[in-house]
Amino acid sequence: MNNSRRKFINNTGKIITGAGMLSSLSAGSVLAKSFSGANDKVIVGLIGCKGMGFSDLQTFLNQPDVECAALCDVDQGVLDQRTADVEKKTGKKPVQYKDYRKLIENKDIDVVIIGTPDHWHCLPMVEACEAGKDVYCEKPLANSIEELDIMVKAARKYDRVVQVGQWQRSGPHWRDAMDFVFSGKLGNIRTVKTWAYQGWMKPVPVLPDEPAPEGVDYDFWLGPATKRPFNRNRFHFNFRWFWDYAGGLMTDWGVHIIDFGLYGMKVDAPKSVIASGGKFAYPDDASETPDTLQAIYEFDGFTMMWEHATGIDGGPYGRTHGVGFIGNNGTLVVDRGGWEVIPEKEGNKDKMEKVPLQKGGGKDLDYHVKNFLECINSREKPNCDVAIAANTARVAHMGNIAFKTGRKIYWDNSKSEFVNDKEANELTKATYRNPWVLPKV
């Protein structure tokens, strides 16, 4: 632990916690509370700088107590651009690395932010924990169930604070919605709907393989994934739609939304799952993961459905994404815009009081980073601790595995495996290309 971190932990004032406090204050006032006037810095380094990783870093740098010491990316063009962006924002030029291991070796760094593609989450997260760093990792936590279990073990073994970027966990209006679900006013909840309809998503055009762009260490980008020729369809943002690197919309959006289906019902894992779908919107485009999918999860006393579609915005209840808790008395619907309650009717009368739209504040990522920084001080588990994120990602991966097997599959949560199903259990495992090796904890 470096001196700035030690002073920070010793000197930071009273921490603001709890959804009640968060919901009663504006984002700006909450973010200014704990660290105003602090002279010491939490030193962060970012691995994977192009997309959401850099959005996370910018949110960290909006805190007066945070400084960026280093950036790491395999694309020199991205690395140079983000270095200039950080220098413009902070007046300080971060050190550049092309190899994430060198960043982790930097003893000045307290926190590692991981913004890489999903297949590159496990190795740097485990190694950062082993090196004594706290970690903020983008979602989904990993690209396989086997990696998820390893990452939880690493965080616990090395006693690190790990926050995962399912930032709705820190959103006041999401917490308020869950409190209403917990109140029992909806009556018996028999069905939970979770969905993501992404109308903005267009076909991924088929493109030929080509040499990697100058300044890109493509072999390092592939890392543990299967060796393939460079194709820009698989690079940067579109990696999400290829099984080698990610799990499509099921894991990309599912971990945000399914998370609250599980949270609201106070459950961890289903007994079974069955899924159906395919490439129905864009059957001839370059992507591999299904653009249309429905998965039904079976729990004791209720079912949860996940559905996603690209090229369509007409999701349930007129929302492009969300969670619907369907009870005997009414339905609560929540998304990033807010939450409301739609009563069931008995004759001409509502069975419960209608709750009009309670709007969200749009600052959930700010709250999430704030919570993480507070937990670095308190050493408490953050709002989306690694175990929460692993559980949600595990359930999302189950949906993909059910889709791949084409049948109903049954889960034994006590053993963390599918019941008498060799094919499904093989799909929980990670396959690493030499010289990369799945970490052991």
CA 207/CA 401 separation, integer angstroms: 28
Class for the domain spanning 3-169+365-386: alpha beta
With 0-12 / 13-18 / 19 or more C-beta atoms within 10 angstroms meaning exposed / middle / buried, residue 18 is exposed
Give the whole-angstrom CA distance, residue 312 versus residue 136.
Answer: 32
Domain with CATH 3.40.50.720 in the chain: 3-169+365-386
In this structure, the dihedral spanned by the alpha carbons of residues 237, 255, 321 and 247, taken in order and rounded to 10 degrees, is 40
pLDDT for position 243 = 98
pLDDT of residue 64: 83
The pLDDT value recorded for residue 40 is 82
pLDDT digits (tens, 9 = 90+) for 324-364: 999 999 999 999 999 999 999 999 999 999 999 999 999 99
pLDDT digits (tens, 9 = 90+) for 128-169: 999 999 999 999 999 999 999 999 999 999 999 999 999 999
The more confident residue out of 429 and 27 is: 429
Contacts of 123 (CB under 8 A, 6+ apart): 100, 223, 224, 436, 439
Q: Which residues contact 296 (CB under 8 A, 6 or more apart)?
A: 273, 274, 275, 303, 304, 305
How does the average pLDDT of the chain come out, rounded?
Answer: 92
Name every residue whose Cβ is closer than 8 Å to that of residue 145 and which is 6 or more positions away in sequence: 394, 397, 416, 428, 429
The pLDDT of residue 19 is: 36
Beta bridge partners of 306: 194, 295
Q: Compute, in degrees rounded to 10, the torsion defined by CA atoms 108, 110, 115, 117.
A: 90
Give the pLDDT band of residue 14 (cuts 50, 70, 90): very low
Strands 321-327 and 330-335: antiparallel
pLDDT at 21 over 70: no
| Pairing label, strands 302-310, 292-299 | antiparallel
Residue 38: its pLDDT value, please? 38
As a CATH number, domain 172-361+392-426 is 3.30.360.10
What is the pLDDT at residue 36?
33
Cβ distance 260 to 395 under 8 Å?
Answer: no
Question: How many Å apart are CA 314 and CA 57, to the nearest integer?
Answer: 33
Compute CA distances 105 → 82, 99, 117, 342, 377, whole Å: 21, 10, 21, 53, 22
Residue range 190-206, pLDDT digits in tens: 999 999 999 999 999 99
Compute the distance between CA of residue 312 and CA of residue 258 in angstroms, rounded to an integer.
Answer: 20
pLDDT score of 212? 97
Location of each CATH 3.30.360.10 domain in the chain: 172-361+392-426
The per-residue pLDDT for range 225-271, each reduced to its tens digit, is 999 999 999 999 999 999 999 999 999 999 999 999 999 999 999 99
Least confident of 23-27, 49-53, 64-68, 371-375: 23-27
pTM, two decimal places: 0.91
pLDDT at residue 421 tops 80: yes
Q: In which band, very low, low, confident or very high, does the pLDDT at 28 lie, cut at 50, 70 and 90?
A: very low
pLDDT at residue 34 in the model = 38
Place 27 in a pLDDT band, splitting at 50, 70 and 90: very low
pLDDT exceeding 90 applies to what percent of the chain? 90
Strand order in the sheet with 302-310: 355-359, 338-343, 330-335, 321-327, 189-198, 302-310, 292-299, 272-278, 409-412, 417-418
Angle at which helix 76-90 crosses helix 52-61, to 10 degrees, equals 20
Q: pLDDT at position 210, please?
A: 97
